[in-house]
Structure 1
Amino acid sequence: MRIITANTNGIRSANNKGFFEWLATQDADVVCIQETKAQIDQLTDAVFTPEGYSCAYNDAEKKGYSGTAMYCRKAPNRFVTELGWDPADSEGRYIRADYDNLSVISLYMPSGSSSEAAQAKKDDFLERIYPHFVELKNEGRELIICADWNICHKEIDLKNWKGNMKNSGFLPHERAWLDKLYGEAGFVDAFREINQEAVYTWWSNRGQAYANNVGWRLDYQVITPNLVPTIRGASVYREEKFSDHAPFIMDYDFSL
């Protein structure tokens, strides 16, 4: 089972940079995309509904903004795109594919870096989404949450951690939220189960951040504990640059 999560920073832009040609070589079972920045009526080209996959998009009401997508080789029992609250629904930040006893989620967390109001929106989102994850887990479902959290958890997760301790994405209360998710709620950072190295998935477009690998690990696959023994591999794809994020790939030893 191969699951890929990727923030495309505009799915049409990523397509122009070769994302879908690369994706066709990956034999992925599930693909989770964040920040599509497109309405479904702008994605009529067949490339945006890859052959052999059940595809779902959740667009933001605001054009050219946010949005998520999922491609599933095995059709799920259902796709869920509404949580019943904003901005999750109005900004298309959530898609869930439900199988019999497992759900895969594509989630795009708001960024708080632009203003105090943006950070407040992000904090509210964190508060609202946490009990949703707990509820799904308490129902006995296995979960794989593929998310651009817009948060780094530990110092190892960003190059310049000392200079970012007061910046959105590495604020103490954001990191504490992940502590709570992994501690009290019992979820697991799948990547860190098998890799303790400094690996990043996002780089600023300013300066030479990408060339010098001055990055942040913002993209995660967070899983329920029963799935930990099935982890077989994890990698970040950097040979081509489709976005300011890199695709994050994980392989598991189970099938849907």
Structure 2
Amino acid sequence: MKLVAAFALCITSLATISGAYRIYNADVVNCRSSPSTSGSVAKMYKANDDLSLACQISAENIKGNTLWDKTTDGCYVSDYYVKTGSVGYVVGKCDSSGSTPSPSDNGKIPGPVKDDYPYPGECDGIDPWHYYKCQCTSFVAWRINSRLGVKFNNYYKGPNWGNANTWDDAARKTGVTINSTPVPGCVAQTDSGSAGHVAWVAKVSGDSVTVEEYNYAYHKYSTRTVPKSAFKYIHISV
């Protein structure tokens, strides 16, 4: 598929939903004040509800799974009931007090080069960050949240970040650094194409940069190594 056609699909939405991972294995699941069945029930989720995770912690064994997921609502659900696509950690570890780790603690910047996007093949609808699923903007918003520990969304710090070709404008409006110097864990951005494109910087080597991205190859994950000059770079956290 031509580059411009791929960029043209990198669009946004104003709709919202509640989170990134889906509840399954039960009709109703309790979200508790602590990672234990003895914790008080703070909230309840229904099957197929989506959650956004802040961190994970090893605690009481539930049906062979010792992981508990702390949601961005501030309560805990046994990972047995959350469809993360993994039996291990998919976000940073909570510290002993249950608080969310800083990026330097979880060792995920820039993180492994792999397709860990939570919606592979599920490209209908809106993600938790207010973007269409499987778009480049959705993938990068996911990486900013999961690996930088920044609660980024389409309205980060106030303005609408919109399509990929307006992320540089939004960065300038909000005081986020944007320059021509890539570092692992920053956002590669271009205005090229009808809606622009954003990608996650995985590696910098000399005058080349390796990026991970979605929808460069039509709703799919891919990687490329290109000249640094191909992009501008938005430094949300790094």
TM over 0.5: no
User: Which protein has the bigger strand share?
Assistant: 2
- TM-score, length basis structure 1: 0.27
Give the structure with the larger helix fraction: 1
Structure possessing the higher radius of gyration over alpha carbons = 2
